[in-house]
Every structure is written in C-alpha cells, then in structure tokens.
Amino acid sequence: MPKLSNSLKAELQDVAHALADAARPIALQYFRNPDQGLENKLERGFDPVTVADKSIEREMRRILAARRPDDGIMGEEYADTVGTTGLTWVLDPIDGTRSFISGTPTWGVLIGLNAGAGPVLGIVDQPFTAERFWGGFGQASWTHLDQTHDIAVRECATLSNAVLFTTMPEVGTIAEAAAFQRVSYECKLTRYGTDCYAYALLAAGNIDLVIEAGLNAFDTQGPMGVVQNAGGIVTDWQGGPAHQGGQVIAAGDPRTHEQALVLLNS
Amino acid sequence: MPKLSNSLKAELQDVAHALADAARPIALQYFRNPDQGLENKLERGFDPVTVADKSIEREMRRILAARRPDDGIMGEEYADTVGTTGLTWVLDPIDGTRSFISGTPTWGVLIGLNAGAGPVLGIVDQPFTAERFWGGFGQASWTHLDQTHDIAVRECATLSNAVLFTTMPEVGTIAEAAAFQRVSYECKLTRYGTDCYAYALLAAGNIDLVIEAGLNAFDTQGPMGVVQNAGGIVTDWQGGPAHQGGQVIAAGDPRTHEQALVLLNS
C-alpha cells in the first residue's frame, strides 16, 4: 500500500467529493424521467442500465484524467484503466438501478479508493435526498443539504436486537438464501429493497447488519469505505476480505458480526 | 355522500394540508433519533410504535377539533370520533414504522377524507424527502421542496411490462403470498420494502402495481385518495371496494389491474 501523506489524503478526499458532485445533476436529470433511456444489459431477465449510468462514469473518468491521471480506475460501465500509483478509483455510477428506474430514493452513486488491500475511502451519495455518506482515513460523516455531522456505527450485542437489511429476498443462490434466512430468523427485523443505502444506514448507526451475495468489486468498495471508517466491519461470509465482492456481510458491532458468521456457515 | 360545494372542497383541502404540515416537524424530530421512544405494541413479535405516532395524531386531532369539529375521525392510535357531517378523516400518523425506525425514507404521513363510499381526498407526505403526494376532487399533484407538479398514473398494457411493489415478501398468509407470487412471476420487476410510498410512486407514474394484504382502513384511504385522483384504480383482490383495507391492489392501468386480478384468484 502506498504511503499517503496528509496532503495527499486531503487531495484524494477533495477529488472523491468532486466526483460525487459531478454525478448528482446528471443522475437527477434522469431520475423519475419517463424518457430515461433504459437499455437492457442482458438478453434474458431484466438488468436495466440507464444512460445516466454511462454519462456519469464518463464524467467521472474525465475528472480523474485531469486531476489524478496516474491512478487506476475500475468502473461498472467501461473497461478498467491500469494506474501506476497503487491507487485505484472504484466507481459504480448508479448502484441500485432497479430502485432508480422505480423512483425509490435508495439507489446511490458509489465511489471507493482502493490502496491495494481494500478501500481507504468511500462515498455513498444519494442525489435525490441530498445525502452524502463519507468515510475515509478513520473518519466518517453524513451531509444532508447544507449540514454535516460525524457518524458512527451503533452497538448491538446480540442478533435478537439486530435490524438486518438486504436488497432482494432471493439474496443469491438457494443455499445463500437459506444461509441468509438462518440469520434473519434470529434478528429483530429484516428489511428489503435498499441497495447501497443499507450500508449508509449501518454506518450512520440506524441498523445493525447488511448481508448480500453476488456483489461486484465496484458495488462493494464505496460502501465498505464508509462503513469501515464509521467503525464497522465488512467481510465476506467466511470472515475474510470482502473488497472483491461476492458474499458480503457488514456489521456495526463485532459481536453480531461473529454471531451471524456462525449461522451463515452452519 | 354529502354534497361538497367548491368552497367546502377548498376548505377541506386546506385542512388536509394543515394536518400534513403539522405532522412534518414532529416526525422529523424523531426520525433517525436514537432516543425515539420505541414501544412494543404487541407482546409477541415486533410491531413498533413510536412516540412520534401518538404525538402527531394528537396534534392532528387538535387541529380537526378547532377547524372541523363536526367531522368524524378514524386514526391508528386513538379511538374513533363519530361525526355528524358524513365526512370522516382517516389518519395514519406514521405508516411504515419499520421503515421509520430503520432510517429508510419510505414511510409516510397518511391523511384521507372519507365521504362514505371511500376517500375523496388523500395525502401521502414524506417529511424527510420533503415530498407531498396529493390527490383530491379529481386532481393530483406532487410537491417537492418548493415545486409542485401535476401527477398521473402511466399506461401499462400487460403485466410483462409492469413494475410491482409490496412491503414484505411474506405479503400475508401463505395463500396470499402464493397469489402474490403468481402475479409477481409475470411482472417485469418486483420490489419490496416501500410501505405507503409505493402508492405515491404509482400515482406519479413511476410504477404500475401495488399488491398488499392485511391492511387497515387507516393505512389504505390516504394512499387510495392519491392514486384514484391521479387516474388509478384501487380495489380489493376481488375487484370490490378497498377502503376498509384487507387485501388491496392498486394499478395505474385497468388492463394490468384486470390481468392481476385473474392471477390473484386463479
């Protein structure tokens, strides 16, 4: 991992916010717009990609080319750019396209910065609610309109007190859904349909667990950067590194994290 | 049904907005507040009611006592008030308490006005996103921050193009869940976890179907007033009146409504 000086950290934070700032007006131009230019990424099934997705990633890449030309870029929509600094920007221009095309304000613009072993910073931005969840270099905050507050995960000693979120009831494979249900059964409350917004709520101390499967690196590292810098834990379902995606569990409290891991693997 | 003059309609619309205006600051005072005074309504299970719920309904009842003292009131939290005008205010101070306590901005303040055979006006207000969905006397609108636009349902000729929402994957009983799944299987996309906000999205032409079971009159009439005045259809699963709650289906297009009814009852 490259050495990050304080001035470099400040620059990276500034660039991350610039990327999120650039994404907002483009996303809002297409959100709840009947003419939003849907495309079908898959021939079968329904994996919508919007013109907004591609427009935002192009704009982000333009900013990075100008301000951080030697960093790598991994985005959802375009081919990876290899860098020379050891730093890679991990971009998901619109995470939760199903929410996006349905009008629900729980999609987000995701930005992560990977220094090799995982993200050192992350942003989950929700343009419609005008919320930005930031985590980087040991500090996390929530900006809503013109107000910014520090955020932190909350304590939750046992699963019986935990609020659990995931995106779809199917979770992933049948075995993954069954593993999820073993945890869900022990939790106080399970909620669906929130995409990346669930990680933001966890980082802000509103909920206790997020468990998902079938994630990609580009939709994991932004949220992971927020949660980890707010004091939370993000691993795969075996307790190992999660930044490549796949089966991901995020927890605010190490005790519920451990209890959930046992059930996921029992 | 009582005769509603234009001046009475204007007064009722004004009172409805006053109720929603009064609810907003109280709701926001408790939303995402760790000290939000949760109570458990049921001894078993988890049916959270917040202090916010009760505070809002008390304030709404205070306004109605001053401005419409002879109307009836049916609210979630307190006993019904019998009126003499043939008009009954139907109040759900915070619909979607599970969303509310989890920090998700898809709960709402619901206000309906029943003139005997169902709601003649409805409001779904989302205080955090600063959105108000209004429907009354043949007109519907969406206010976001300081902007107001007319809204209307969208066309959707077949289920295969429909976006379907419900609150929980369990839906209701096992038979109700199976009936829901028959419809869901034919739809383009099914999403969960939105509570009353789903009806608002339908009224605004973002989605096509909402199917739920186990509703109460107080959580049905506000959304129903919005959807119907935006050109949509709200019935029970047999196609009959829905304003008493129970099994409810809302559709933007009569064709998808009819196709879904067939599957719900097959």
Total count of residues recorded for chain B: 266
Question: Can you name the residues that pair with B48 across neighbouring β-strands?
Answer: B40
The answer to whether B99 contacts chain A (CB < 8 Å) is yes
The answer to whether B188 contacts chain A (CB < 8 Å) is yes
Strands B139-144 and B147-150: antiparallel
Query: Sign of torsion, CA A83 A87 A93 A98?
Result: positive
Residue A254 has pLDDT above 50, yes or no: yes
Query: Sign of torsion, CA B57 B58 B64 B65?
Result: positive
What is the model's pLDDT at position A13?
A: 98
* Residue B128 with chain A: CB contacts under 8 Å: 129
Query: 229-258 in B: which are within 8 Å (CB) of A?
Result: none
| CATH 3.40.190.80, applies to B159-264 | yes
Query: Average pLDDT of chain B?
Result: 93
Q: What is the DSSP letter of A157?
A: -
Instruction: Kindly state the percentage of chain B with pLDDT values over 90.
Output: 83
The per-residue pLDDT for range B204-254, each reduced to its tens digit, is 999 999 999 999 999 999 999 999 999 999 999 999 999 999 999 999 999
Q: Which of A48-62, A133-147, B38-52, B233-247 is predicted least confidently?
A: B38-52
Counting Cα atoms < 13 Å in the Cβ hemisphere of A129 gives 27
Min CA distance, B191 vs chain A (Å)?
A: 6
ipTM rounded to 2 decimals: 0.91
Closest in A98, A163, A197 to B189, CB measured: A98
A211-217 mean pLDDT: 95
What angle, 0 to 180 degrees and rounded to 10, lies between the N-to-C axes of helices B254-264 and B174-186? 140
Q: What is the Rg, in whole angstroms, of the alpha carbon atoms belonging to chain A?
A: 17
A43-58 burial: b if 16+ Cβ within 10 Å, else e: eeeeebbbbbbbbbbe
Query: Average pLDDT of chain A?
Result: 93
The answer to whether B202 contacts chain A (CB < 8 Å) is no
Q: pLDDT category, A167, cuts 50, 70, 90? A: confident
Torsion angles phi and psi, residue B246, rounded to 5: 85, -135
Q: Are B74 and B217 in contact (CB under 8 A)?
A: yes
Min CA distance, A10 vs chain B (Å)?
A: 30
> CB within 8 A of B183, min separation 6: which ones?
B159, B164, B209, B211, B260, B263, B264
**Domain ranges in chain B?**
6-150, 159-264
* Residue A105 with chain B: CB contacts under 8 Å: 105-106, 129
What is the model's pLDDT at position B48?
A: 57
CB contact under 8 A, A104 and B201: yes
What angle, 0 to 180 degrees and rounded to 10, lies between the N-to-C axes of helices B51-67 and B6-30? 150
Assigned fold of B6-150: Fructose-1,6-Bisphosphatase; Chain A, domain 1 (3.30.540)
Three-class SS state of B44 = coil
CA distance A157 to A162: 8
CB contact under 8 A, A169 and B188: no
CB contact under 8 A, A32 and B193: no
Q: pLDDT category, B40, cuts 50, 70, 90? A: low
The answer to whether B207 contacts chain A (CB < 8 Å) is yes
CB contact under 8 A, B154 and A194: no
Cα end-to-end span (Å), chain B:
35
Closest chain B residue to A196, measured at CA = B104
Percent of chain B that is helix, strand, coil (3-state, to 5):
35, 30, 35
Q: How far is CA B96 from CA A38, B109, B113, B144, in A?
A: 30, 9, 20, 20
Residue with the larger pLDDT of the pair A51 and A106:
A106
Instruction: Count CB-CB contacts under 10 A for residue B200.
Output: 33
CA distance B123 to A20: 33
Instruction: Kindly state the percentage of chain A with pLDDT values over 70.
Output: 94
pTM above 0.90, yes or no: yes
Residue B43 has pLDDT above 80, yes or no: no
What is the model's pLDDT at position B169?
A: 83
Closest in A102, A128, A204 to B103, CB measured: A204
The answer to whether A97 contacts chain B (CB < 8 Å) is no
Residue B37 has pLDDT above 90, yes or no: no
Q: Which of A17-21, A183-187, B107-111, B165-169 is predicted least confidently?
A: B165-169
CA distance A243 to A234: 9
Q: Which two tokens stand for residue A108?
A: 């987000």
What is the model's pLDDT at position A214?
A: 94
The answer to whether B154 contacts chain A (CB < 8 Å) is yes
B56-70 mean pLDDT: 97
Min CA distance, A13 vs chain B (Å)?
A: 26
Query: Sign of torsion, CA B247 B252 B253 B255?
Result: negative
CB contact under 8 A, B204 and A103: yes
Q: Are A89 and A180 in contact (CB under 8 A)?
A: no
CB contact under 8 A, A104 and B194: yes
Q: What is the Rg, in whole angstroms, of the alpha carbon atoms belonging to chain B?
A: 17
The answer to whether B163 contacts chain A (CB < 8 Å) is yes
Q: Which residue has the tokens 């959802």?
A: A76
* Residue B201 with chain A: CB contacts under 8 Å: 102-104
What is the model's pLDDT at position A48?
A: 57
